[in-house]
Amino acid sequence: MIRYLGQRAFHSGFALIGLIIAVFFLARLTGDPTNLYLPIDASMEIRNDFRKKHGFDKPATTQFVVFLGDVSQGNLGFSIRKQRPAFDLVLEAYPTTLKLALTTMALVIVCAVTVGALAAYKPGGVFDRTASISSLSTASAPDFWVAITGILVFAVALRLLPTSGMGDGIEYWIMPVVVLMLRPFGLLVQVVRSSMMNALSSAYVKTARAKGMREKRVIYVHALRNALLSIVTVAGDQTVGMINGAVIVETVFGWPGIGKLMVDSVIQRDYAIVQAAIMVTATAIFTLFILIDLIYVALDPRIRHR
């Protein structure tokens, strides 16, 4: 088990390095940021000074070696635009996104498991058909459009919820969380339904029923536990995919999270923030994958990673 985790961590490290190399050189391809930061009438001298100060005058490979040296000392670069260490900015943005993503994912899992399990209980029934169509619809809905329509209806027309911004009250959270829930919910309901249908038609469920066990226990303890493996896999993928949704939701609702920070810094060519944000995000994602492996083992004692 420990050897497996070690191997997994090694592969993740490999992937992380590949990603950093790709992002570093791709970012350098976007062109010299000097012209973007300095006023148009800046003299050649000022420009050269600026390039020298930030190391843009050296070839990209040399810049990369310097960058690696900095990273090994825990320095992830300096944001020219915001005049602060990039790592601090990333760490400030992360709690917002994490709170949003975790709340959403928790709600998604609870709702999807309930709906999916009920739908699988009577395949082809009224509830199942409604659940199938509505899960397909939420999985196909463009999140940015739902967000805009939501603002139009609930904030502009009905004046029930705030149009955007992040606050302490629950009213600020309703629309972002619901919009972010849509796609993972739709996909997860379908997975829960099909894996529950498999589980419910298996021999151990028949045995449990034959023993006279109560139906609730059969569904939620026996069938659900066996269906959980595939649910966890998809939920893990959806958590990663949630960053895609977070970019949109944070942009539309103006939340100062990591998605907005990354898109803004790509557009402003603030290399340092992009690199720092990607390194932190990728590390978080790889850790999540390893955690999911551990959950597998906890859920199903037959799985032993070697």
**Tokens 């050649």 belong to which residue?**
44
Counting every residue written for the chain, the total comes to 306
Beta bridge partners of 79: 84
- Closest CB 126 distance from other proteins, rounded Å: 10
Query: Which of the stretches 36-44, 95-103, 220-228, 241-249 binds other proteins when contact is defined by CB under 8 A?
Result: 241-249
- Report 10-29 residues binding other proteins (CB under 8 A): 11, 14-15, 18-19, 22-23, 26-27, 29
- Closest CB 149 distance from other proteins, rounded Å: 7
62 contributes a contact to other proteins by CB under 8 A: no
- Residue by residue, DSSP assigns 174-242 as HHHHHHHHHHHHHHHHHHHHHHHHHHHTSHHHHHHHHTT--HHHIIIIIIHHHHHHHHHHHHHHHHHHH
Name which position in 248, 261, 272, 276 contacts other proteins (CB under 8 A): 248
133 contributes a contact to other proteins by CB under 8 A: yes
Q: How far apart are CA 22 and CA 47, in angstroms?
A: 27
Burial class (CB in 10 A: 0-12, 13-18, 19+), 164: middle
262 contributes a contact to other proteins by CB under 8 A: yes
Size of the site for other proteins (CB under 8 A): 50
Strand ranges (E), the chain = 78-79, 84-85
- Report 71-90 residues binding other proteins (CB under 8 A): none
Q: How far apart are CA 247 and CA 251, in angstroms?
A: 6
- Report 145-184 residues binding other proteins (CB under 8 A): 145-146, 148-149, 151-152, 156
Q: By CB under 8 A, name the binding residues for other proteins.
A: 11, 14-15, 18-19, 22-23, 26-27, 29-30, 123-125, 132-133, 136-137, 139-146, 148-149, 151-152, 156, 240-241, 243-244, 247-248, 251, 259, 262-263, 266-267, 274, 278, 281-282, 285-286, 289
